[in-house]
Amino acid sequence: MLPQIITYLLMLINYQEQMIRTLLTLLIGKSMFDKPIEAPVNKPYRKLQVDDLPIIEVPEKLDFKQLLTEHLAANGKPLKPVQRRSNSTPVPASMKCPKCGAPSEYLYANNGGKGQFQCKVCSCLFNQKSRYLKEAILKCPHCAKTLEKIKERKDFNVFKCKNNDCSYYQKKLSRMSQKEKKRFKEDPQAFKMRYIYRQFHIDYQPLAKHSPKKPKVDLSRLYVSPHTLGLILTYHVNYGLSARKTAALMKDIHGVSISHQSILNYENSVALTLKPYVDHYPYELSDQFCGDETYIRVNGRWHYLFFFFDAVKKVILSYPVSPNRDTATAIRAIDEVLLKLKEIPENLTFVVDGNPIYLLAQHFFSQHEIPFDVIQVIGLTNEDEVSKEYRPLKQIIERLNRTFKGNYRSTHGFGSEQGSVSFVTLFVAYFNFLRPHSALEGKVPVLIPELEQLPNMPARWTKLIDLAQQWLIDQTA
421 binds Zn ion (CB under 5 A): no
Max intra-chain CA distance, the chain: 99
Give how many residues touch Zn ion by CB under 5 A: 15
- Please answer whether residues 360 and 330 qualify as being in contact, where contact means their C-beta atoms are separated by less than 8 angstroms: yes
How many CA atoms lie less than 13 Å away from 230 in the CB half-sphere?
18
95 binds Zn ion (CB under 5 A): no
Of 143 and 370, nearer to Zn ion (C-beta) is 143
Nearest-5° angle of CA 283, CA 289, CA 293?
A: 110
Q: Is 339 exposed, middle or buried (0-12, 13-18, 19+ CB in 10 A)?
A: middle
Give, in order, the Cα–Cα distances in Å from 365 to each of 21, 51, 101, 204, 316: 52, 15, 19, 10, 21
- From 5-13, 20-28, 101-109, 375-383, span contacting Zn ion (CB under 5 A): 101-109
397 binds Zn ion (CB under 5 A): no
Of 65 and 301, nearer to Zn ion (C-beta) is 65
Nearest-5° angle of CA 232, CA 281, CA 275?
A: 40
- From 84-92, 164-172, 235-243, 259-267, span contacting Zn ion (CB under 5 A): 164-172
Among 107, 109, 138, 166, binds Zn ion (CB under 5 A): 166
Among 51, 117, 131, 142, binds Zn ion (CB under 5 A): 142
Among 53, 122, 217, 339, binds Zn ion (CB under 5 A): 122
107 binds Zn ion (CB under 5 A): no
Of 170 and 294, nearer to Zn ion (C-beta) is 170
196 binds Zn ion (CB under 5 A): no
Q: Is 46 exposed, middle or buried (0-12, 13-18, 19+ CB in 10 A)?
A: exposed
138 binds Zn ion (CB under 5 A): no
Residue type, 215: P
Give, in order, the Cα–Cα distances in Å from 161 to each of 129, 143, 197: 22, 9, 9
| Least distance (Å) between residue 171 CB and Zn ion | 11
Element at 307 (helix H, strand E): strand 301-310
- From 20-28, 116-124, 409-417, 453-461, span contacting Zn ion (CB under 5 A): 116-124
Instruction: Choose among 152, 171, 276: nearest CA to 216.
Output: 276
| Least distance (Å) between residue 145 CB and Zn ion | 5
Of 147 and 317, nearer to Zn ion (C-beta) is 147
Of 119 and 250, nearer to Zn ion (C-beta) is 119
Of 140 and 241, nearer to Zn ion (C-beta) is 140
- From 109-117, 173-181, 192-200, 328-336, span contacting Zn ion (CB under 5 A): 192-200
161 binds Zn ion (CB under 5 A): yes
249 binds Zn ion (CB under 5 A): no
- From 12-20, 157-165, 211-219, 380-388, span contacting Zn ion (CB under 5 A): 157-165
- From 22-30, 142-150, 177-185, 330-338, span contacting Zn ion (CB under 5 A): 142-150
* Number of residues that this document lists for the chain: 477
124 binds Zn ion (CB under 5 A): yes
272 binds Zn ion (CB under 5 A): no
Of 105 and 369, nearer to Zn ion (C-beta) is 105
- Please answer whether residues 295 and 305 qualify as being in contact, where contact means their C-beta atoms are separated by less than 8 angstroms: yes
3-class secondary structure for 146-214?
ECEEEEECCCEEEEECCCCCCHHHHHHHHCCCHHHHHHHHHCHHHCCCCCEEEEECCCCCCCCCCCCCC
DSSP state of 128: S
434 binds Zn ion (CB under 5 A): no
147 binds Zn ion (CB under 5 A): no
Of 164 and 395, nearer to Zn ion (C-beta) is 164
b/e string for 73-101 if b means 16 or more Cβ within 10 A? eeeeeebeeeeeeeeebebeeebbbbbbb
Integer Cα distance of 80 and 77 in angstroms: 9
- From 74-82, 99-107, 264-272, 357-365, span contacting Zn ion (CB under 5 A): 99-107
Of 81 and 413, nearer to Zn ion (C-beta) is 81
Q: What distance lies between CA 59 and its chain's CA centroid?
A: 32
| Least distance (Å) between residue 72 CB and Zn ion | 16
| Least distance (Å) between residue 143 CB and Zn ion | 3
| Least distance (Å) between residue 209 CB and Zn ion | 25
Instruction: Choose among 368, 367, 389, 369: nearest CA to 378.
Output: 389
CB atoms closer than 10 angstroms to residue 359 = 22
Q: Rounded to 10 degrees, what is the CA torsion of 99, 103, 105, 110?
A: 30
Integer Cα distance of 198 and 221 in angstroms: 51
Among 91, 107, 109, 140, binds Zn ion (CB under 5 A): 140
Of 122 and 202, nearer to Zn ion (C-beta) is 122
- From 27-35, 165-173, 227-235, 454-462, span contacting Zn ion (CB under 5 A): 165-173
Q: Footprint of Zn ion on this chain (CB under 5 A)?
A: 97, 99-100, 102, 119, 121-122, 124, 140, 142-143, 161, 163, 166, 195
